[in-house]
């Protein structure tokens, strides 16, 4: 698989249902227990338990210029649990059935990573496409 934007995420951007710079956007580290599907649209499609290893707080320093999404690097503190093999970005609403999935990543520096109780930092790409480009 490769990094991509969920179909429902793309649709939500086009319909104005996601405002990347103003909405609460978060990241979830996932174990190999998650299997990507283009039919997944909301967080309730992602199993809990050992599949979700850690969830970030809201991304900060967000920007969207020329269709390119960027934000400050995100740090997960004191992470333990299953090996992290992938992660997703989603629009957090506080309700799983309305928290829209935005982007899926299974290719990134240091993936997979085995949590050891320390911090895990995702450093977003500083190239032209940053986190992702619509």
Per-residue model confidence as pLDDT tens digits over 11-61 = 999 999 999 999 999 999 999 999 999 999 999 999 988 899 999 999 999
* CA dist 42 → 4, 74, 85, 94, 123 (Å): 15, 22, 20, 12, 25
Map out the domains of the chain as residue ranges: 4-124
| Confidence (pTM) | 0.95
The 10s digit of each residue's pLDDT in 101-112 is 999 999 998 899
CB 25 within 8 A of CB 58: yes
Return the number of other C-beta atoms located less than 10 Å from residue 1's C-beta.
Answer: 10
Q: Is 46 helix (H, G, I), strand (E, B) or coil?
A: coil
**Calpha distance 66→50 (Å, rounded):** 37
pLDDT at 21: 96
Integer distance in angstroms from the first to the last C-alpha of the chain? 19
With 0-12 CB in 10 A as exposed, 13-18 as middle and 19+ as buried, what is 67? exposed
Q: What is the mean pLDDT of residues 61-65?
A: 96
Cα Rg of the chain (Å, integer): 14
Position 1 confidence tier, pLDDT thresholds 50, 70, 90: low
Handedness of CA 107, 34, 28, 115 (dihedral sign): negative
- Cα distances from 10 to residues 16, 44, 102, 132, in angstroms, run 10, 18, 7, 11
* pLDDT for res 49: 83
3-state DSSP assignment of residue 44: helix
């Amino acid at each position: 698989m490769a990094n991509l934007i969920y179909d429902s995420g793309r649709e939500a951007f086009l319909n104005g249902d996601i405002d990347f710079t103003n909405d609460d956007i978060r990241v979830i580290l996932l174990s190999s227990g998650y299997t990507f599907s283009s039919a997944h649209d909301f967080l309730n499609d992602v199993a809990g338990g050992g599949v979700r290893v850690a969830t970030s707080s809201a991304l900060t320093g967000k920007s969207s210029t020329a269709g390119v999404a960027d934000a400050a690097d995100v740090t997960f503190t004191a992470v333990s649990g299953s090996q992290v093999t992938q992660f997703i970005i989603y629009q957090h609403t506080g309700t799983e059935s309305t928290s829209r999935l935005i982007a899926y990543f299974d290719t990134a520096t240091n993936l997979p990573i085995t949590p050891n109780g320390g911090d895990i930092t995702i450093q977003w790409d500083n190239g032209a496409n940053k986190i992702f480009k619509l």
